[in-house]
Structure 1
């Protein structure tokens, strides 16, 4: 059978038969790949734990009729190891994997930007940024905004999402596409604080230095907007999202003030 190699991140696994698994990966060159890892559930498997979610691997595949077959695996980075000791980071990582799985819907279609974004987000989640560590939920929100932007759903934060009038504007509406002006705002639009929108802009552009001193209320308000935006544009709730703990010992106003 013809073979090929690629670098990939393991997104999820499913049991197949008594000893096999179907592995779903996001790869550098071939986009999303679903392949069979034969005998991987046996203790004698040569693949061991290298095909678990979060694993960044170099994989060789044999082309099959229905599904390709994993024939060789080399570990590049074990991004899951530091997350196992941090429940919040682990849950945020699960949301990232699930989001990547949903956004790259077509198999074998190149998705290099999504691949690079996921690898970078998992690295920051476990190791921190060059500007220092950041809360896991902040890293998650940055990933979600940027992943949606790569998929063509970038939120409008500087101009009205409906009429294009330059901002700043006071209202945010997820289904409209982001910030909206007074004339265009739909009923039920949120009215976030300007500091929150500036925080979201920093997350979207990856300006980590601008997020160093953002207060917890602004982080949670921004997280509420991001979560609503993601849920609308993915047209479904993420199963792993409810496990992300965004609580704080200080009671603060909820995300967004309905007008």
Structure 2
């Protein structure tokens, strides 16, 4: 039997589940390796050397032994830890949601450095106290754009005409974008919601934090992006309903 290879990886935990009485299987995301799974053996024991080192919302320097199915974590060192968002339920819910989005958009063993950077950027925003819902909407749109499925926000999907200020519009879930009333398909989508979604795409989220955004356009954007994400993955992310419940007024 050939000797198993030792490797290292800088990664974050995006999901995990229990295995047996003391182990955990971790889904890990790395900028250089993509998505992969590893077993943290005995991690749930009080005497474990790994202990809390493989907790979520931390960038970890991992030592691994390659395996036929899963790698095994042998050592872990925390490089960055997002402690602030861990202590706030709303921020933690959004952090898990964005992690699920990025995990689902990343293929096994296929590096996606842009998506990895998106996830860490979202966690940085939450850590800094940025509004939870704003971070969720920014992350959804950024992920759709990165996946090549970003919605059309500049012209009508049917006729290609740019809307004028204050014009009533419709949102087309299937086509992912806006439509004028002459080619209406989908639900109403206000010009305020369109301005907000354009701002999410065109400006750094740090620039939007200081704005006093009215709730109605935020709800419209949330509804539109929810549908776009559902179509991208073919199902709604499992963490979405919990996040919505936590963030509900």
TM surpasses 0.5: yes
SS at match of 2:79: strand
* Maintained 8 Å contact 2:5/2:66: yes
The CA deviation string for residues 141-177 of structure 1, in whole angstroms up to 9 with x for no partner, is 10011012111211111123355x1422722111111
Q: Residues of 1 paired with 2:247 and 2:172: CA distance?
A: 21
Q: Where does structure 1 lack aligned partners over 5 or more consecutive residues?
A: 129-133, 249-259
Matches within 5 A, 1:125-136: 125-128=126-129, 134-136=130-132
Q: Which residue of 2 aligns with 1:89?
A: 91
Q: 1:12 touches 1:52 (CA, 8 Å); kept in 2?
A: no
- Equivalence for 2:113: 112
Q: Deviations over 1:58-81 (max 9, x none)?
A: 1122211111111221102222x3
On the 8 A contact 2:18/2:24 being kept in 1, the answer is yes
Whether 1:145 and 2:141 are equivalent positions in the alignment is yes
Q: 1:31 aligns to what?
A: 34
Q: Which runs of 5+ in 2 are unaligned?
A: none
**Which residue of structure 2 lines up, in the alignment, with residue 254 of structure 1?**
none
Alignment counterpart, residue 199 of structure 1, candidates 182, 196, 201? 196
What is the TM-score of this pair, normalised by structure 2? 0.88
Aligned with 2:126: secondary structure?
Answer: helix
- Could you list the runs of 4 or more consecutive aligned residues of structure 1 that deviate by over 6 angstroms after TM superposition? none
Q: TM-score scaled to structure 1, two decimals?
A: 0.85
Q: Residue 191 of structure 1 aligns to a residue in which SS?
A: strand
The whole-number CA distance in structure 2 between the counterparts of 1:64 and 1:240 is 30
Q: How many residues align?
A: 238
Q: Which has the higher helix share?
A: 2
| Cα distance between partner residues in 1 of 2:47 and 2:93 | 30
Alignment of 1:213-252 (within 5 A): 213-243=212-242, 244=244, 245-248=246-249
Q: Distance in 1 between matches of 2:20 and 2:180?
A: 56
Report the 3-state secondary structure (helix = DSSP H, G, I; strand = E; otherwise coil) of the residue aligned with 1:53.
coil
> Which deviations, in whole Å up to 9, do the C-alpha atoms of 1:88-112 show, x marking residues without a partner?
11211121121112111x2101111
Aligned twin of 2:72:
69
- Tell me, yes or no, if the aligned pair for 2:90 and 2:247 is still in contact at 8 Å: no
Kindly state the Cα deviation for residue 116 of structure 1 after the two structures are TM-superposed: 0.5
